[in-house]
Amino acid sequence: MSHFQRRKIIATSPLFEPLTLPNGTTLPNRICKAAMEENLGVQPGQYPGDKLFNLYDAWAKGGAGLILSGNVMVDPSALTGPGGVVLEKGTDLTPFKKWAEIGKAGGGQFWLQISHPGRQLYKSMGETAVSPSDVALDLGKFSSLFAPVRGLSKNEIERLIVRFADTAFAAQEAGFDGVQIHGAHGYLVSQFLSPLTNQRTDQWGGGLENRARFLIAIVELVRQTVRPDFGVSIKLNSADFQRGGFDFDDARQVVEWLNTKGVDFVELSGGSYESPAMQGNAADASGGTPSSTIQREAYFIDFARDIAQVAEMPIMVTGGITRLETAEAALAQDDQGFGVSILGIARALAAEPALPQLWHKGQSAEVALPEVGWSNGALKGLATMALTKAQLERMADGKAPGDGGSPLAALLADQWRAARRAKKYRKWRAAG
C-alpha cells in the first residue's frame, strides 16, 4: 500500500485543505481551474500575449489552488483551433515566462496542458490530420468541417513522443509548475487508446496494452526529461461514451499501469467531439443522458471514486460543477476512505473567475451556466463551447464575462473569429 493510499484511509479532503502531490509540492487547496479551449494566442507566432495575460490574471486572483491552461500544442502543424498556443523546442520563452508569472501570482500552481488534436483538426487550418489509423470523424453533415486524415508511420509516432517531452521541458524552463498530457476528449492520445480510432496491427495497436503504449511512452520520456519536482499529470477519458470504444474497465487498467510512472495526478473526464460527455451531453451505454441537476453536475464522480480504489496518485474529476454543495459532496470519501482529491471547475470559472474565493469566504455562490436547448447534438456542442468562448473573450478584454449572449450569435461570432484566425495561421505556416 502506497503512502498516498494510507493517507486516504485516515484523512478527509475538504475543499480548502492543502494537498501534497507525489512530486513533493503542495497545492494550497483542492480546486483546479480546469482547461478550456481559449484560442487567444497572438498571431503570427501562436504565443501567449495580453489577452491570455488578462484572462489568467483574473483566474490567479480567483483563488484556485491549481490552474491548468487550455491546450498548448506540441506541433505547429496540429492545433485544436486557429488561435492555439504552440510551445516546442526552440520557441522563444519570453512570453511564456510572463504567462507563468501571472498565473502563479495568486499563490496557486500553474500547469500547461499539452496536446495534439490528431484527427480532430479543422479543415480551415489547411493541414492534413494524423491519427493512429485513417478513421475520419463522423459528425454527420458537420464532418466536412474537419481535415482529411491519414495514419501515422512508426517514425512519426516516435517523433511525436519526443515532441511532448520537448514541450514539457520548455514549460519547465519557462517557470510553469507542471504539465498535463491531454489523453481525453478524442485528441491524439485518446485516439491511440480507443479501438474505434486505433485499428493498427503493429506494436501501437491491437490489445489495450499496445493501444496504451503511446501514452505510457510519452509519460516515461517526459518524466525522464523534467526535474523530479516538476508536475506530470494525465487527462484521461473514463470512457469514450461510444459503443465499442475505450471504456471504464480500460481506464481503470491504464491508471494501474500509470501507478509506477511518476504521475502526480490523473484527471478523469470523458467523451470526444463525436460524443461530447465533457459538456454533459453524452449518452450512456443504454442511450440515456443525465437528467437531474445532481447528475449533470459532477458527471464523472462515480467513475472517479471507483478508479481511486486502484490509483496510487490523486484523482481529479471535472464535470460541470457550479455549486458549493456539489463541490463538497464530490470530495467526500467512501466508507473505505477512497475518493476524489482534486476538483476541476471549468465553465463555472468562465462565468465567475472568483468562485473559489467566494466559496472560501463562506458565500454559497452558485453559477448559472449558459444553456443551449437545440436538438442536434453536434450543433448543440459547438454552440455550448461558443457561449463559453464568448465569456472568455470578454474576460480577455478586461471585461466582466457576462452570460455569453444568444447561442446563435455566439456561434456565428466564434465561427467568424475562427475563420479570421485560421487565415492568419495559414499565412504564418506558409511563411515557414
Return the residue matching grid coordinates 500544442: 73
Higher-scoring residue by pLDDT: 239, 89: 89
Residue ranges and CATH numbers for the domains of the chain are: 3-430 (3.20.20.70)
Whole-number Å distance between alpha carbons of 199 and 66 = 37
Please say if the pLDDT value at position 286 is more than 60. no
Query: Mind listing the pLDDT tens digit for each residue in 214-254?
Result: 999 999 999 999 999 999 999 998 766 667 678 889 999 99
Grid cell at residue 17: 485543505
Phi and psi angles of residue 323, each rounded to the nearest 5 degrees, phi first: -125, 145
Can you tell me the mean pLDDT for 92-115? 98
Q: Which residues pair with 231 in a beta bridge?
A: 178
Is 68 strand, coil or helix? strand
Question: Cα–Cα distance between 327 and 345 in angstroms, integer?
Answer: 9
Residue spans of alpha helices (H) in 206-346: 208-211, 213-225, 248-258, 293-296, 301-307, 324-330
pLDDT (0 to 100) of residue 14: 77
HEC string of 112-174? EEEECCCCCCEHHHCCCEEECCCCCCCCHHHHHHECCEEECCHHHHHHHHHHHHHHHHHHHHH
Q: Where does 226-263 have alpha helices with state H?
A: 248-258
The one-letter amino acid at 420? R
The phi, psi pair for 233, rounded to 5°, reads -130, 160
Contact 115, 36 (CB under 8 A): no
> Taking residues 27-43, what's their average pLDDT?
96
Per the model's pLDDT, the better-predicted residue between 385 and 28 turns out to be 28
Average pLDDT over residues 377-395: 90
Residue 73, amino acid:
M
Looking at residue 279, its pLDDT comes to 45
pLDDT tens figures, 137-183:
888 888 899 999 999 999 999 999 999 999 999 999 999 999 999 99
Alpha helices per DSSP H over 42-108:
50-60, 94-103
Q: Please provide the average confidence, as pLDDT, over all residues in the chain.
A: 89
Instruction: Answer whether residue 298 shows pLDDT above 90.
Output: no
Q: How much is the average pLDDT of 394-417?
A: 95
Single-letter residue type at 132 = P
**Per-residue pLDDT, 241:** 64
3-state secondary structure (DSSP) of residue 284:
coil
Mean pLDDT of 194-216: 97
pLDDT of res. 332: 83
DSSP count for the chain of H helices, then E strands: 15, 13
Single pTM value for the model: 0.91
Q: Which of 85, 77, 254, 82 is nearest to 176 (CA)?
A: 85
| Angle at the Cα of 25 from the Cα atoms of 19 and 28, rounded to 5 degrees | 40
Q: 399: pLDDT confidence band, cut at 50, 70 and 90?
A: very high
For residues 318 and 341, give the distance between their C-alpha atoms in angstroms, rounded to a whole number. Answer: 11
CA atoms of 112 and 171, how far apart (whole Å): 7
Omega before 44 within 30 of 0, i.e. cis: yes
Strand 26-27 and strand 315-318: the pairing is: unpaired
Q: With bands split at pLDDT 50, 70 and 90, how would you rate the model's confidence at 5?
A: very low
pLDDT category at 192 given cuts 50, 70, 90 is: very high
- Residue whose C-alpha is closest to residue 226's, from 218, 214, 235, 236: 218
Query: Taking every pair of C-alpha atoms in the chain, what is the biggest distance, in angstroms?
Result: 60
